[in-house]
Each structure stands twice: as C-alpha cells, then as structure tokens.
Amino acid sequence: MKIGVLNSGGDCPGLNAVINGVVGAADKLGWEVYGFIDGFEGLLPEGGDYLKLTPDDTIGIGKLGGTILGTTNKGHFAAKVGVGDVAKIPEEIMSKARENMKLLGVEALVVIGGDGSLTTALQMNQEGFNVVGVPKTIDNDLQATAMSFGFDSAVTTVVDGLDRLQTTGQSHKRVMVLEVMGRHAGWIALWGGIGGGAHVILLPEIEFDLENVAEHIKRREEAGQRSTLVVVAEGARVGGGELITKGDGASEVTLGGVGEVVAHHLEAMTGKDTRSCVLGHLQRGGSPTAIDRILGARFGVKAVKMIESGEYGRMVSYQAYHVDSVPIEEAVHQLRLVNPTGEMVDTARALGICMGDR
C-alpha cells in the first residue's frame, strides 16, 4: 500500500515527529509513504510534488522544529473562511488531486492540520478520498482533543520569555507586558502565565477592565514589589472592544498589537514605566519539547493504524493519557475555549493572579 502525508496551515514544533511516526509505522506494515510538499498544494502539479519517505529519511527528525515537507496557509484548497464559514473546494482542484493520487497509487492520506485544514480534509473525505486527520493547533483550541503537539513547546517559550522579562523588569521597576499567541483561546497565555509567574493574565474569554489591572499593579507597588509581569493573548479585547489587527492575512486577519495598547494604557493609568514585547513566531519555531516529540510520534503512528483499520474520516485525538480517534466532523465544529470559571482560571486566581475582571 502507498499512503500520503501532508501538513497544512501554520507550522508548529512536533510536525516532524508526526511525520516520523507515520513513516515508521507504515514501514513496519511494508507500506510506502509519499510526503506531499507545501500542504495540499503538493497534490496539484503534474504527477504531484512529493518526497518519498523511508525511515532512513525520517529517523531523528522528531527533534527538529518546522516541517521537512514545508507548509502554507494559503492556496487552492481553502475550505474554511473565517470562523464558521465553509467554502466549497473547486471541482477541478479535487479532480487534479484525485488524478495525481491515482497516478502515484496513493490510496490514503494523513492530513496534519488545524480546523481549517481539517475542514478541507473532511470535504475530501466526503468526496471519496480516504483521509485521516491529525490535529495540529499551537493554540490548543480543538475541542475534540485534550492536547495537541506544539502547545507544550509554545508554553515553554512563554515561560522562558517571562523569566527573562522578570529580571529586567525588576532591575528597572517596570511593568512588562508580553503578548502571546491565542487567537480565540487563551490557553497559551493561561498556561504560560501560570508557569512563568505572571501577575496579570488577560484572555479572549474573560472580559477585563484595565482599571482593575492598574489597581492590582498599584497594590503590588504599595506592598513593595518592584515590577509586574502582564501576559496578554493576541485575541484579547481591551474593554470588550475590537480585536487589534495588523491587516488581512492569507485566510484570517493577522492579529497583533494588543500588548502595546495594554502597555500604553497601563503606563498612563499607573505612572509606571512600562514596556511591551511580542513573542510572536518564536512560539512556533525551534525544537519541540520532549512532550511534543512524544505526542507527535504517537499521533503519527495512530494515524497509520487508523488507515490500516479503514477508519477514514476520523481524526487522532488525545484523551486522558490515551491516543484515540473521533470523527473529523466533530473536530472542526467546536473550539475548546478557556472556561472562565474552570479549574485552570481558579488556580490562577488562587495564586493571586489578576485576570482583569475584578
């Protein structure tokens, strides 16, 4: 049997671990693996654009960041436009992909992607392609999996960033604001903030008032604290207002700038010297943590086992220490957001962290 693997959408640490898992498990079954270049786009050129992958090519790549296959979040297969809007992939694009896979003899496809790419995978499955999905979301916001690879690496980068901002903030008696990824869900900010000892965490899911944050900073100063660390998710809305964006991206608006806005207001409100820093793509780059390497490998192996047992139209899912699968349809329709009254937020509050709402 010949199978294909591709990753689509934004990259994140752990993608190569998944590819290695797919190649290793397929090789054990005597199958061949075609790795398509730049996501679904690799299915389109005459004869396909791919690398034939054997364990010799992939053993050891699990520790590398990025993806050996390249990726894109634009192109001909966009099936999800904004939140909840689905576009139909043109028939000529589907036919070309079908033709190339037939020509190569590739019978099934592992699609590693977030809700956008999995929406594409679902449409392909509905049109007769044998597809299994592997969840990829650095924001860790797919409802159908409790954890996705890349998230732990991003949180580790946030913690490291906060540790660094802490020391310079202390030296200069400053408020240091760190803007982190998290478009709809504030998991990176919440986990990173708790792990990195933030004093304030601002999330898309909790409406906050910067007056509350300013009061918190002043109280800390009165208590003798020299500096305050603030983490803000890129999708947080100041005063419940608009998202702060940098323009239109390939498939969604490009977020960015909320950290600077928060810093500007806090400086005016507290009179304290304030600086902001955007962690940006540092969270998506670099080597994966051990957790992400292992999770990625498990996801890749599971995807091949799903093909072996004909579980098409399903996505690998991590639930309570166990890797299982769910229908892709379930995965693309629901985002997993931070519960404002849930255990993680409770933990943050118990640690004295201000969430900006009181």
Binding site residues, ligand F6P, CB under 6 A:
10, 73, 138-139, 181-183, 234, 249, 254-255, 284
In this structure, are residues 175 and 217 in contact, taking their beta carbons and an 8 Å threshold? yes
- Measured from the Cβ of residue 342, the count of other Cβ atoms closer than 10 Å reads 12
Separation in Å, CA 240 to CA 49, 149, 159, 204, 276: 46, 31, 27, 9, 20
- Residue (9 or 196) nearer to ligand F6P, CB: 9
Residue nearest to ligand F6P (CB): 181
Q: Could you confirm whether 139 is annotated as catalytic?
A: yes
Name the minimum Å distance from CB 175 to ligand F6P: 24
Query: Which one of 11, 38, 139, 141 is the catalytic residue?
Result: 139
By C-beta, is 14 or 169 nearer to ligand F6P? 14
* CA triple 349-354-358, angle to 5 deg: 95
Instruction: List Cα–Cα distances, 256 to 114, 241, 245, 323, in angstroms.
Output: 20, 15, 5, 34
Q: Using the minimum distance from each CB to ligand F6P, give the nearer residue, 274 or 283.
A: 283
- Closest approach, Cβ 12 to ligand F6P, in A, equals 7
| 3 closest CA partner among 101, 118, 127 | 101
Grouping H, G, I as helix, E, B as strand and the rest as coil, residue 72 is: coil
Give the nearer residue to ligand F6P in terms of CB position, either 139 or 267: 139
Least distance from ligand F6P to the Cβ atom of residue 283, Å: 7
Q: Annotated active-site positions, please?
A: 139
